Structure 1
């Protein structure tokens, strides 16, 4: 079906939502804008379904939400026991249309006789993951676009184990969604009707209380040590999102008293008007926190993204300024702290889980403590899936993280959790402060012990249909014209996760990669360095990741610069011919 046919179907639909109808009328005459809105359907990526708000099959609106939920409902009927009575837990963030989409999801489920457990007000993504498990629900839905710009919203699906759906399960949901002929005519129940029939259950504070109880258990400090928490001066920003109450309650119950919130960013604001992007990965998001940190002489600054699954931390650098740690740095520091405070008995059969684009320093630290590392594809759903597997083996989950500021300590949640991570980051900072050191000094100790592992990620934003074609061309080029050296380092192996093959260059042989197929190419280089190229699953971007290692800070920095330059030149040459 052409995009024009789909557009005509929408524009002529007599019962189309009035707001969407108005937007369509405003788009008339802009063929490129209309084409982008209707040329394809939103699909599930590494973090579910995300898109720009507005009319169209390639946009987030009540009809694309209905279609996704309809497919999910059909999946539940065929795959999950007692699905109707167990129901689906639903939460949402502070974005435009988030609560509306949550209620719309409940109305579609209600039409199938499936109970919906919906939070009365916004909650963090990890608390939704916890709610699925705590309520023993058949699945979960989170309405969020995480750290995307204000014009976006999104839809994440969780399985009955509280994890984001891994590929095999997601594929079944997608097949159901794609089998729906007309998203405009999906049956929905009335809100009042499902409330009266007990099919819409508003979640009370009981689930929050249970989550906070679990949060206490991840602490590595004994009661005698907790007095040291009093001395840590913390500035916290929720970046206009969901973390405010949970983080403050969690810190209070651990004993942290000197905690200050960036008031301007505690306000729920779907425009995220105080930042260029509500993403703690980007240093500008810490501008106001840094100002307040300097005024209060804070030891650490902590910032969570709008749905509170990502955490960024900035630390005083000894010269009166603050340095924002990378996700790799913070994750490795937390790993080291956790393993240093874990008994040998608990480390036995313990596992670190990280992604293929996360620093190899983590593996070195884990090895130092006698802990094995497991690599997964990018996306925390793979870490959650691996934790689920541990329930039937002797393996024990000790820590999981990815370079994009996602961490998990306690497996009572099956997704990255910025609330948990804030607790451990502050506890860790307090521990090192008691020893007269900052987190930066603790990091230098790790470099001195294991090597200067440095990483970076660069991305190209290529929007619309043309951008999608350019991203595909870059991946096609890298496969058809493979590199033999990058930045002066020889390629030792080339991994193509789409074909699940690893080519060993010197041996001239090929071996199997035992991970799900995904559109990713990774080069393993000399000196424990690497380059990885992958299209984003949630944004119109192609991302290139870099990792280097040496015994010298200067050598690692120079090598990193050379790798980035060569890969950027290569991608630009494909785009511009």
Structure 2
């Protein structure tokens, strides 16, 4: 009978557990085997699976073990040569024509955790039915050691470099750099470190917490205001125009304006809708989770856009992006996706898009936020976290 240390439960975006307790090489191998079985059942043997990892403890070794297990099951593996953002794996999964992607990451969670995210062939989070199918296939018995024949099916590739090139193509880098914008990038010791400097050039970016530190200095890598002490001071001290903060795997975002004031996800989502609808003249549906601002409802009414509300969890937004014409999808926790990019959260791309908006309009971020409030009204927001163990969640 499975114990708490061997039972595998997938949450809203994959499986995660405490390293050396639930998240062990043995349990990881079981989850990788289940993923490989699901891919075989769905697409057949010899499918392609992209594998990446973030900056957490033993990330490279966990990723390689997952790759070996899935290669032993008869699949071709594209393994990242370095740590990289989760959206890079999502993009690569679609770009390479792969059938699935896997990221070894616990995202914004405390440093003692690691996890296993599954990506669909479409370049976004696996749909609920996919995850349920994988969970049902997790074997009870341990998985054997890697075989040499499987190792021969693993191709190592610099996915991160290709992702950076893609960002340069999809963002008006010239508008941002020629405007003279300088931005602080707080990578929170996560997998997004260095990316903005490579896209915009080092003269335009001041890097914070941009090194490998699996302990995250004891601060969970979640880009919310209480975890970003000191960012505002650096903005003012270095005369920067804004700051972008990303979580551990860089799919979430928080920002600060030039005065060092935090700009939360509700306002960032509203800015994206305003920019894409008014400046880029794009249409489509707004999809938000139930915990996200009502400002979007007012904007949708004025801009003539349909809007829908989903339960908590980006997977519900992802489903809508795949089946409908969605302009912007987002959640309170800082995960956002927009038309023309991948059907997935990408905190780096969203940050660059906001910088593009600032550059093309010739306005500071504080002005853009104030202008939103003047046109659509003031909306307040308070967050309070309540932590539950898995048994309590089941109840």
Deviation (angstroms), 1:431: 4.2
Partner of 2:158: 204
Q: Which has the higher contact order (CA 8 A, sep 6+)?
A: 2
> Which residue number corresponds to residue 345 of structure 2?
416
Aligned to 1:71: 34
Question: Does 1:194 pair with 2:144?
Answer: no
Distance 1:408 1:165 in 2: 15
Is the counterpart of residue 366 in structure 1 residue 338 in structure 2? Answer: no
- How far apart are residue 94 of structure 1 and its match? 0.4
Q: Is the 8 A contact 1:277 1:285 kept in 2?
A: yes
The residue aligned with 1:54 is: 20
Partner of 1:80: 43
- 2:290 aligns with 356
2:123 is paired with a residue whose SS is coil
Taking the TM superposition and a 5 Å limit, the aligned residue runs for 1:378-417 are: 378-390=312-324, 395=325, 397-417=326-346
The equivalent of 1:448 in structure 2 is 374
User: Who is 2:191 aligned against?
Assistant: 242
Gaps of 5+ in 2: none
Q: What displacement does 1:268 show? A: 0.8
**Counterpart of 2:384 in 1: which secondary structure?**
strand
**Alpha-carbon deviation of 1:214?**
5.4
Structure 2 matches for 1:199-238, cutoff 5 A? 199-204=153-158, 208-209=161-162, 212-213=165-166, 215-219=168-172, 226=175, 229-238=178-187
- Alignment counterpart, residue 342 of structure 1, candidates 272, 280, 285: 280
User: Which residue of 2 is the match for residue 259 of structure 1?
Assistant: 205
Instruction: Assess if the C-alpha contact under 8 Å between 2:191 and 2:250 holds in 1.
Output: yes
C-alpha distance 249-227 of structure 1, shift in aligned 2 (>3 A): closer
Q: 2:150 & 2:158 partners in 1: Cα distance?
A: 18
From 259, 268, 272, give the equivalent of 2:216: 272
1:110-138 deviations in whole A, cap 9, x for unaligned? 22111111001001000000010011111
How far apart, in 2, do the equivalents of 1:446 and 1:129 lie? Answer: 32
Q: Retained in 2: the 8 A contact 1:111–1:187? A: no
The 5 A counterparts of 1:509-520 are none
Q: Is the 8 A contact 2:164 2:195 kept in 1?
A: no
- 2:289–2:312: 8 Å Cα contact kept in structure 1? yes
TM-score (norm 1): 0.64
1:546-561 map, 5 Å: none
Long gaps (5+) in structure 1? 4-36, 474-577
Distance 2:14 2:176 in 1: 42
Match of residue 426, structure 1, among 355, 363, 368? 355
Structure 1 residues 155, 314: CA separation in 2 closer, same or farther (over 3 Å shift)?
same
State the secondary structure of the residue aligned to 1:375: strand
Q: How far, CA to CA, are the matches of 2:81 and 2:162 in structure 1?
A: 15
> Where does 1:554-569 land on structure 2 (aligned, <5 Å)?
none
1:242 touches 1:306 (CA, 8 Å); kept in 2? yes
Q: Structure 1 CA distance, aligned partners of 2:134 and 2:263?
A: 37
Query: 2:8–2:135: 8 Å Cα contact kept in structure 1?
Result: no
Paired residues in the alignment total 395
Q: Give the Å deviation of 1:328.
A: 0.8
Distance 1:290 1:110, change over 3 A: same
Query: 1:193 deviation in Å?
Result: 4.3
**Superposed displacement of residue 374, structure 1:** 2.8
Kindly indicate whether the alpha-carbon contact (under 8 Å) linking 1:62 and 1:104 is maintained by their aligned counterparts in 2.
Answer: yes
Match of 2:59 in 1: 98
Matching residue of 1:127: 88
**Partner secondary structure for residue 118 of structure 2:** strand
**1:329 matches 2:267:** yes
Verify the 8 A CA contact 1:215 1:420 in the aligned structure 2: no
Question: Partner residue of 1:17?
Answer: none
Per the alignment, residue 571 of structure 1 pairs with: none
User: What SS does the corresponding residue of 1:454 show, helix, strand or coil?
Assistant: coil
Match of 1:313 in 2: 255
Q: Compute the RMSD of aligned alpha carbons.
A: 2.4
Given the two structures, how large is their TM-score scaled by the length of structure 2? 0.92
Cα distance, 1:351–1:215 mapped onto 2, change above 3 Å: farther
Instruction: Give the structure with higher Rg (CA).
Output: 1
In the alignment, which residue of structure 1 is the partner of 2:78?
Answer: 117
